[in-house]
Amino acid sequence: MKKPKLFIISIAFVILVLSVVQVVVSNGLSTTGTELGRLQEEIGRYQTETAILSEKVLIASSLTQVASNAGALGFLEPKSQVYISSPLPIARR
């Protein structure tokens, strides 16, 4: 008689403890939505910033821009190149 009674009391105690734990955990999770929203906003902001900066980098490194800047800085187009060695012929007389 005692053993079944002890068993039932133990089960009830475990159920009570788990219920309390569930309430505590749910309570903690309930406010994480705000944090999640904040993190998602921050990610979105950084992605937008990355996209905007990538656009600026691409424009700055475009050949059109580089050529224009080079001209403004006084760079000139090379007229010729100096080759130190020429290709060897296949055969010589």
Instruction: Please report, as ranges, the residues that interact with another protein according to CB under 8 A.
Output: 29, 32-34, 36-37, 40, 48, 51-52, 54-55, 58-59, 61-64, 67, 78, 80-81, 83, 85-87
- Least Å distance between CB 74 and another protein? 18
Dihedral over Cα of 68, 69, 71, 75: its sign: negative
- Least Å distance between CB 89 and another protein? 9
Closer residue to another protein, CB minimum distance, 51 or 73: 51
Contacts of 59 (CB under 8 A, 6+ apart): 65
- Give the Cα separation of 49 and 43 in Å (integer): 10
Closer residue to another protein, CB minimum distance, 1 or 82: 82
Q: What SS3 state is found at 3?
A: helix
